[in-house]
Structure 1
Amino acid sequence: MQNQFVMKFIKLQIITFLFLFANPLLFAGEGMWLPLLLKSLNEAEMQSLGMKMTAEDIYSVNQGSLKDAIVHFGGFCTSELISNEGLLLTNHHCGYGAIQSHTSLENNFLKEGFWAKSKAEEKPNPGLFAKFIVRIEDVTDQVLKGAKDKMNEKELQSLTDKNIDAIRKSTKLEKHEELEIKPFFKGNQYFMFVTMTYTDVRLVGAPPESIGKFGADTDNWEWPRHTGDFSLFRIYAGPDNMPAEYSENNIPYQPKHFLPISLDGVAEGDFTLIFGFPGRTDQYLPAVAIEQTVDVLNPAKIGIRDKALKIIGAKMRADESVKIKYSSKFASTANYWKKWIGESQGLVATNAVMKKRDQEADFQDKIYKKRKLKKKYGMLLGEFETAYKDIEKLAYSRDYYSEVVGRNIEIFRIQGLLSRLLNIYQENGEAGYENYKRRLIPYFENFYKNYDANIDEEVFAALLEMYVENVDNEYIPPTIFNYAMGYDEIAQELYSKTLFKNSEKLMALLSLPAAEAAEQLKEDPIMQLGEEWKELYDEKVATPYNIKKDKINALQKQYMAALIEAYPDKTFWPDANSTMRVTYGQVAGYHPKDAVYYLPVSYLEGVMEKYKPGDYEFDVSAKLIDLFKEKDYGQYADQSGKVPVCFLGTNHTTGGNSGSPAIDAHGNLVGLNFDRVWEGTMSDLNYDKSICRNIMVDIRYVLFIVDKYAGASHLIEEMKLVHPKK
């Protein structure tokens, strides 16, 4: 079954190449492509859009190429090398946690910025890593070896697990290399990624929030944008240029390739390439799934975060110390809250459900014309309808629990870890307890630095009320119904008695002998509520949900294979799954609504137009104002004498592409990807070139801030600045 699919798939790629060559602009913009397949699938189209490179320039195993300058930053963002001394560029919001960890009221690097004057001043960040892709290989035949048509999903999974284990054991790796094998096309294809990870990554520079986070939550996902969303780090290596744990004796990493930087900028229509590690997309969902997302799931998640954010935001505006504690958490929570709002609006505005229905009608028509396809896939869409209807209540309750207990009430994070500590004690005794406790202590110490129990208590009361009012009673812990009081009083009762509300009480508890500490943990009211809630959730929501979701996943895998068989003249790209991808397009504005057109470039003038003295989102430092008044732009202004700040492209991006380089037709860095426009955030589910745009910081604004604002010209001297258009 599976090997037959693979052979068909390979043949389809050849057909696809010919099809694309004859229709070079048909798919421009959409897709997140595997770099090792660019030669056969995308090179001709990319060059038709203006690219001057070859596929070998982008991805090569035998020589330095663009891929060797692209780094998976901490596993959650992308970054790129911009000097031969390991200088790493990523977004300010990607480096935010590291910047915050070095921030205090005395040295407020979030507010004032940070610039190391020498390598000796660069700050280490334990736990932060930089991962490179050494090579990528198609291992589909090996992973699916022995697969039979009659195998069910459980049998097939057991077989693939066994085969993947065999590949791991048989693959020869160099020192420091590791491998990952991931499924593509819903498990119809598999690729192996050989990687190398550096763990000594130091903070080099970051602009103040008034630049790196300018516009904050108001401008998030919006255009025009004026955010200098960047930060600088450096990779350090051992004397052999190989990965090494932090040491003062480590030296800057010497890369196989780093990105030259273009000072010529971009113009509408210019080719743009985004290289990075996009997190997750679901482009091949059926219409019923999109409908459920818009009508049921997104509104629930949006409502919960909206309530929590309003409480925390008010506290942050009233107290600077609270703002420092909660700024990173607030931004993280607000990011997807606003994204879901834009996603739902975009799906409605582009008639995504109706378009999916039309596509499905065409699909049904095609397979019904071929007896073999009708027999294999004729019932698929009907099964989807039934499966999504069957899972809806569970999916809704699952999202409610995840958002309320798993995400937005912080004290349950502590409770969950301590619950695991109790389980380890019961299973492995005192030795296991002490070992796990030692691992927890540093986490707790860091957690309480940025935790306010009074704020959390208020959030608890508000979200508990939402949970009880919106979720079926069978999913609500019975203890809640035992309280004959309001939600504020319930929260006050629990938080006044728990030992988890502050570090001192918890550390005192953990200093007790294991047996005594375990007994007190069992009696804690937050522990009791959390365990009751989790047990109820696991039994009545998670377990039945997972069973139904497995069925949907099996249908989705079958649907993916069906689409490829039904449309032999169409190219398909695999959904994002945090693996290295290339997406390409052009600089372009867009029409967000009737009679409105957004130009694709914003300028420093726009920063000054938005300036609101004292406002935490739109304040501007005196230094930047002076540079603007004096037009002291150095070599970073465009031909009109203005400093570009951000620009738009048609590149298909998602979470994980934050920090990805925007690369020009010649392979030079022209910008830094950091966001999408609000109207197009639905691109994870439904890319529409008419409104889907990614937002990038213009690299000249980055250099202007580094050089003229921060005075860190020593960093500019490391870089290779070029003029490809001249």
Structure 2
Amino acid sequence: MRFIIKTLFIVLFFISNSIKAHEGMWIPSLLKALEGDMQSMGLKLTAEDIYSINKSSLKDAIVHFGGGCTAEVVSKEGLILTNHHCGYGQIQQHSSPENNLLKNGFWAMKKSEELKNPGLTATFIVRIEDVTSAVEKGVLKSMTEIEKQKVISNNIKSITEDAVKETNYSADIKPFYYGNEYYMIVSKTYNDVRLVGAPPSSMGKFGGDTDNWVWPRHTCDFSVFRIYADKNNEPAEISDDNQPYEIPNPLSIALNGVQENDFTMVFGFPGRTSQYLTSKAVDNYINIINPVRIEMRKNSLKHIDAAMDLSEETFIKYAAKQSRISNAYKKWIGQDLGLRKKDAIAKKINLEDKWLKKNKLNGELLEEIFILEEQKIQYDQSFSLFKELWYYGPEVIRFSYGFNKILNGDFEKELADKKTSISGYFKNYIQKIDQNIFSSLLPIYIKNMNNDLTSSYLIDLIDKYNGNYEEMAADLYKNSVFSSEEKISDLLKGNEKSIKKKISNDPFYLLSSNFINHYRNNVHNEFIRLSDLTDLKMKEYVKSLMNSFPEKTFWADANSTLRLTYGKVEGTFPRDGIKYTWFTTMDGIIEKNNTGNDDFKIPERLKDLHKEKNYGKYGNNGNLNICFLGSNHTTGCNSGSPALNAEGLLVGINFDRSWESTMSDVLFDEDICRNIMVDIRYVLWVIDIYAGAGHLVEEMNLVDN
């Protein structure tokens, strides 16, 4: 009955309000309800061709890549495509000044040359199942929330265990619509994923920070990997005995590309959206949370970028870190501009006012949410600042705390682990850069933290140096064993007593342990408590919104589960006097290169091939299409997602959004929000003609019609 009602609701919505057809990230098991609308826009497939548990479907070729990106299988021998920036960490790990894969690119000319990547995974979705009734079985209105959650947790444990019994599957149940619905995702994960090919970073990251999140775009943002399995085609740990994963129906590729207004769909694993935030929450986000995060990352990048410009060795060491920090930094700036320009707060207030008129007897619900958000904001800010300092700030803080296990765990085991892991850490670490980041970020952290939530140990330490952060940093790094591989290696050669004594008295270990313990005891628990209370009220509010406005669409926020979004190939007019045409060509690469900007440097071979107009079967009227825009609603972790045409053929790889579109995590505007995809013909051209790796293209099924 639940499914019938849900299906009817979606169908009625699309009959009455198709203008919003491009918005939403849809659960693929519910696509039958959207089939008519998609077909009216040009889709030539059925919902079951896209997602099915009874027959082969497009779903079977979609991969959750490393848990943070998407990839797609394009050959029967497990060859997968994803973004260059998704494979960037692996490319970096295989790089050295003597063999710089980041700079020069990499192409395995035979399978024995493909590079292993410990820890990298490829996950396929077996099925998605609505388990709401089973999860809520035994939950009574008379129960306290703690009692309800205990029943739900026990039900989830039982359901997932039964779902994967006697299989090598995994099962995860996630809440949707703040817990109004629950879906179980059953998956299968492969642990041997090898690097096959990647263009030089001057192509794979063409445009660098200058072009990141903007249009027009000319980035060759792809990399090639291959999934390996055991002799039975089942998941296995990395081994020379493994063989390429066999799949009967990989994606086929459209050699004729796309045209303006063509139907497109993007199939992948979007990470997180926040469409249901209240006006108060959006206000807090824009005016409190975002500005400080932006300031902290700006200061980190100032030191990292300057150092990377001076040395190729430093560039290799910090390439992945810089990319990780800068990506969100520029996104947040664009998001802030978009939300302000589109009056996101006013739009939220308008919706809330309409809801209040329909729910006069329940109006206190919204006020209760506002009160909770007011109480929570200082903990939100503290949590955000903690993350920026702990995960994206000076690395020595988190690194030193990792030795807590030597003090409190199995000494011999932890000692052996550290002896083998420290070289990997210091391979990509430079003390001077880390020290500069420390002295730059700490004053920003202190300035924006609530004094009552700040570690007294940290305050006392700052007072000891009279607020001189440079002097403080110099002293700590000089006297800590954790700032140097030589010092920590020498320490670990000692006996248990001397090692433990030195670690427990080390200035950075003292700082990091006090810092995180204070956070856990004074911030984290209250942050979680208030967040849980807010989510419970939001569950009521979202359910009431859906009941109050049956003519509107209320798709579930992204939560790293498989989704499908659809739209068409189209440009936009994002600002007064500015038009974004729907595609770019090779000519634009040369034009940008001629500016002299370092972000637009390209290999000489690319220039030569352009002069020769050597585009082979991938060209289009004497040129080569590079990227194109679409009105598909995407977000982070859609990186690497396949862009498919009306027949389900691969036409591009999603990798970005325009700057104006970054706000779509919170507010989607169908007039300006556009996703950016690299044209599959450019990808094939680079593999085949530029790199001379045509054997990889031969594995693929190219359709020319």
Q: Normalised by the size of structure 1, how large is the TM-score?
A: 0.94
Check if 1:26 corresponds to 2:7: no
Match of 2:413 among 435, 442, 457: 435
Contact 2:271-2:636 within 8 A present in 1 as well: yes
RMSD of aligned residue pairs (Cα, Å): 1.6
By how many angstroms is 1:636 displaced?
Answer: 0.7
Partner of 1:395: 380
Partner of 1:410: 395
Instruction: Report the identity percentage.
Output: 46
Match of 1:465 among 443, 458, 466: 443
Alignment of 1:607-622 (within 5 A): 607-611=589-593, 616-622=598-604
Match of 2:429 among 429, 451, 460: 451
Rounded to whole Å, the distance in 2 between the matches of 1:136 and 1:660 is 19
Q: Which amino acid aligns with 2:49?
A: D
Structure 1 residue runs without a partner (length 5+): 1-6, 369-373, 425-431
Q: Which amino acid aligns with 1:498?
A: S
Q: Which amino acid aligns with 1:216?
A: G
Q: Secondary structure in 2 aligned to 1:203?
A: strand
Rounded to whole Å, the distance in 1 between the matches of 2:461 and 2:592 is 50
Partner of 2:462: 480
Contact 1:20-1:26 within 8 A present in 2 as well: no
Residues 14 and 615 of structure 1: CA distance in aligned 2, closer, same or farther (over 3 Å): closer
Check if 1:497 corresponds to 2:482: no
Match of 2:558 among 576, 587, 590: 576
Check if 1:229 corresponds to 2:210: no
Q: Secondary structure in 1 aligned to 2:643?
A: strand
Rounded to whole Å, the distance in 2 between the matches of 1:107 and 1:70 is 32
By how many angstroms is 1:592 displaced?
Answer: 1.6
Q: Secondary structure in 1 aligned to 2:232?
A: coil
Residues 616 and 502 of structure 1: CA distance in aligned 2, closer, same or farther (over 3 Å): farther
By how many angstroms is 1:441 displaced?
Answer: 4.1
Partner of 2:651: 670
Deviates more, 1:330-339 or 1:26-35: 26-35
Contact 1:284-1:685 within 8 A present in 2 as well: yes
Partner of 2:37: 45
Q: Secondary structure in 1 aligned to 2:376?
A: helix
Partner of 1:16: 9
Partner of 2:663: 682
Residues 57 and 10 of structure 1: CA distance in aligned 2, closer, same or farther (over 3 Å): closer
Rounded to whole Å, the distance in 2 between the matches of 1:272 and 1:502 is 52
Residues 64-100 of structure 1 show CA distances to partners (whole Å, capped at 9, x for unaligned) of: 1100000011111100001111111000000111111
Match of 2:684 among 703, 714, 718: 703
Q: Which amino acid aligns with 2:27?
A: L
Rounded to whole Å, the distance in 2 between the matches of 1:469 and 1:22 is 53
Residues 686 and 21 of structure 1: CA distance in aligned 2, closer, same or farther (over 3 Å): closer
Match of 1:207 among 199, 221, 231: 199
Residues 361 and 420 of structure 1: CA distance in aligned 2, closer, same or farther (over 3 Å): farther
Alignment of 1:97-116 (within 5 A): 97-116=89-108
By how many angstroms is 1:570 displaced?
Answer: 3.1
Q: Secondary structure in 1 aligned to 2:559?
A: coil
Q: Which amino acid aligns with 2:302?
A: K
Partner of 2:619: 637
Check if 1:145 corresponds to 2:145: no
Contact 1:91-1:674 within 8 A present in 2 as well: yes
Q: Secondary structure in 2 aligned to 1:171?
A: helix
Check if 1:384 corresponds to 2:369: yes
Rounded to whole Å, the distance in 2 between the matches of 1:179 and 1:586 is 34
By how many angstroms is 1:460 displaced?
Answer: 0.6
Residues 274-298 of structure 1 show CA distances to partners (whole Å, capped at 9, x for unaligned) of: 0111111111111110111111100
By how many angstroms is 1:174 displaced?
Answer: 5.1
Q: Which amino acid aligns with 1:503?
A: E
By how many angstroms is 1:437 displaced?
Answer: 3.5
Q: Which amino acid aligns with 2:311?
A: D
Rounded to whole Å, the distance in 2 between the matches of 1:416 and 1:564 is 46
By how many angstroms is 1:422 displaced?
Answer: 2.3
By how many angstroms is 1:512 displaced?
Answer: 2.5
Residues 111-141 of structure 1 show CA distances to partners (whole Å, capped at 9, x for unaligned) of: 0000011111111111111111111111111
Partner of 1:660: 641
By how many angstroms is 1:208 displaced?
Answer: 0.2
Residues 436 and 160 of structure 1: CA distance in aligned 2, closer, same or farther (over 3 Å): farther
Match of 2:610 among 623, 628, 635: 628
Contact 1:79-1:90 within 8 A present in 2 as well: yes
Residues 3-46 of structure 1 show CA distances to partners (whole Å, capped at 9, x for unaligned) of: xxxx6x5454133243145236232111111111101x211111
Contact 2:405-2:414 within 8 A present in 1 as well: no
Partner of 1:347: 339
Rounded to whole Å, the distance in 2 between the matches of 1:170 and 1:714 is 44
Q: Secondary structure in 1 aligned to 2:554?
A: coil
Residues 683-713 of structure 1 show CA distances to partners (whole Å, capped at 9, x for unaligned) of: 1111111121111000000011111100111
Match of 2:522 among 523, 540, 553: 540
Q: Which amino acid aligns with 2:386?
A: Y
Match of 1:588 among 570, 581, 599: 570
Deviates more, 1:605-614 or 1:525-534: 605-614
Alignment of 1:284-323 (within 5 A): 284-323=276-315
Check if 1:521 corresponds to 2:506: no
Rounded to whole Å, the distance in 2 between the matches of 1:231 and 1:700 is 14
Tell me the matched-pair count.
701
Check if 1:550 corresponds to 2:532: yes
Q: Secondary structure in 2 aligned to 1:72?
A: strand
Residues 569-606 of structure 1 show CA distances to partners (whole Å, capped at 9, x for unaligned) of: 33321111111111111111111210211101011111
Contact 2:344-2:667 within 8 A present in 1 as well: yes
Residues 385 and 609 of structure 1: CA distance in aligned 2, closer, same or farther (over 3 Å): same
Alignment of 1:127-276 (within 5 A): 127-173=119-165, 175-276=167-268
Rounded to whole Å, the distance in 1 between the matches of 2:353 and 2:17 is 27
Contact 1:613-1:620 within 8 A present in 2 as well: no
Contact 2:14-2:21 within 8 A present in 1 as well: no
Residues 358 and 530 of structure 1: CA distance in aligned 2, closer, same or farther (over 3 Å): same
Residues 65 and 311 of structure 1: CA distance in aligned 2, closer, same or farther (over 3 Å): same
Partner of 1:36: 29
Residues 258 and 540 of structure 1: CA distance in aligned 2, closer, same or farther (over 3 Å): same
Q: Secondary structure in 2 aligned to 1:196?
A: strand
Q: Which amino acid aligns with 2:16?
A: N
Q: Which amino acid aligns with 1:650?
A: S
Q: Which amino acid aligns with 1:691?
A: I
Residues 35 and 174 of structure 1: CA distance in aligned 2, closer, same or farther (over 3 Å): farther
Contact 1:71-1:80 within 8 A present in 2 as well: yes
Contact 1:16-1:570 within 8 A present in 2 as well: no
Deviates more, 1:413-422 or 1:291-300: 413-422
Q: Secondary structure in 2 aligned to 1:406?
A: helix
Residues 702-725 of structure 1 show CA distances to partners (whole Å, capped at 9, x for unaligned) of: 0111111001111111111112xx
Match of 1:651 among 625, 632, 638: 632
Contact 1:24-1:48 within 8 A present in 2 as well: no
Rounded to whole Å, the distance in 2 between the matches of 1:485 and 1:404 is 18
Rounded to whole Å, the distance in 1 between the matches of 2:200 and 2:128 is 38
By how many angstroms is 1:62 displaced?
Answer: 1.6
Check if 1:81 corresponds to 2:87: no
Check if 1:566 corresponds to 2:548: yes
Residues 442-471 of structure 1 show CA distances to partners (whole Å, capped at 9, x for unaligned) of: 442211100001110111111122223333
Rounded to whole Å, the distance in 1 between the matches of 2:99 and 2:230 is 30
Deviates more, 1:619-628 or 1:146-155: 146-155
Q: Which amino acid aligns with 1:594?
A: D
Structure 2 residue runs without a partner (length 5+): none
Q: Which amino acid aligns with 2:129?
A: E
Contact 2:221-2:655 within 8 A present in 1 as well: yes
Rounded to whole Å, the distance in 2 between the matches of 1:605 and 1:35 is 38
Contact 1:510-1:517 within 8 A present in 2 as well: yes
Q: Secondary structure in 1 aligned to 2:20?
A: coil
